[in-house]
Amino acid sequence: MKYIDEYRDGRLAKLIGDRIAALADAARSYCLMEFCGGHTHAISRYGLEDLLPANVRMIHGPGCPVCVLPIGRIDAAIALATRPEITLCTYGDLMRVPGTNRSSLLEAKAAGADVRVVYSTLHALRIAEAEPEREVVFFAIGFETTTPPTALALKTAIAKGLGNFSVFCNHVVTPAAMHHVLESPPVRKLGTIKIHGFIGPAHVSAVIGTKPYELFAEKFCKPVVVAGFEPLDVIQAILMLVQQINDGRHVVENQYIRAVTRHGNEKAQAEVANFFELRESFEWRGLGELPLSGLRLRPQYAAYDAEKRFSMVTPRAKDNPACDCGAILRGAKQPAECKLFGTVCTPDTPMGSCMVSSEGACAAHWTYGRFREKARQANAMKVVT
Give the whole-number percent of the chain exceeding pLDDT 70.
92
CA separation for the pair 64, 141 (Å, rounded): 10
pLDDT at residue 2, rounded to an integer: 64
Q: Is the pLDDT of residue 165 over 80?
A: yes
Q: Which comes out higher in pLDDT, residue 244 or 350?
A: 244
Weakest mean pLDDT among 22-31, 182-191, 234-243, 261-270: 182-191
What pLDDT, on the 0 to 100 scale, is given for residue 11?
95
Which architecture, in CATH terms, is 1-320? 3-Layer(aba) Sandwich (3.40)
Q: Among candidates 350, 329, 318, which has minimal Cα distance to 70?
A: 318
Higher pLDDT, 320 or 164: 164
How do residues 333-361 score in pLDDT, each as one tens digit?
888 888 889 888 888 888 777 887 777 88
Is 37:357 a contact under the CB 8 Å cutoff?
A: yes
Q: How far apart are CA 225 and CA 216, in angstroms?
A: 12
Looking at every residue in the chain, the average pLDDT score rounds to 89
Question: Domain spans of the chain?
Answer: 1-320, 325-379
Instruction: State which of 69-73, 119-123, 375-379 shows the largest mean pLDDT.
Output: 119-123
Report the pLDDT averaged over residues 189-202: 80
Q: What confidence score (pLDDT) does residue 247 get?
A: 97
Q: Which range among 84-93, 169-178, 239-248, 300-309 shows the weakest confidence by mean pLDDT?
A: 169-178
pLDDT band, residue 373 (cuts 50/70/90): low
Per-residue pLDDT, 375: 53
| Residue 190 pLDDT | 52
Q: CB count, 10 Å around CB of 5?
A: 9
Look up residue 267 and give its DSSP letter. Answer: H
Compute the Cα dihedral for 199, 205, 209, 214 and give only its sign.
negative
Whole-number pLDDT of residue 380: 47
Higher pLDDT, 371 or 200: 200
Is 148:119 a contact under the CB 8 Å cutoff? no
Can you give the pLDDT at residue 5?
Answer: 80
When pLDDT is cut at 50, 70 and 90, the band that residue 185 belongs to is low
Q: Which segment, 244-258, 317-331, 367-381, is predicted with the most confidence on average? A: 244-258
Q: Give the span between the Cα atoms of 280 and 287, in whole angstroms.
A: 16
Angstrom CA distances, 195 to 72, 107, 154, 297, 330, stand at: 29, 39, 39, 34, 11
Residues 232 and 227: their CA atoms lie apart, in Å, by: 9
Whole-model pTM: value is: 0.88
Q: Sort 31 into a burial class: Cβ within 10 Å, 0-12 / 13-18 / 19+.
A: middle
Contact 22, 52 (CB under 8 A): no
Q: Please say if the pLDDT value at position 73 is more than 80.
A: yes
Looking at residue 48, the DSSP 8-state letter turns out to be G
**Averaged pLDDT, 213-218:** 94
- The single-letter DSSP state of residue 58 is E
What is the percent of the chain with per-residue pLDDT over 90, rounded to a whole number?
Answer: 64
Cβ 202 vs Cβ 41: under 8 Å: no
Phi, psi dihedral angles at 313 (to 5 degrees): -125, 130
pLDDT of residue 3 exceeding 80: no
Query: What's the mean pLDDT in 134-160?
Result: 97
Q: Is the pLDDT of residue 74 over 50?
A: yes
Tens of pLDDT, residue by residue over 11-63, are 999 999 999 999 999 999 999 999 888 999 899 999 999 999 999 999 888 77
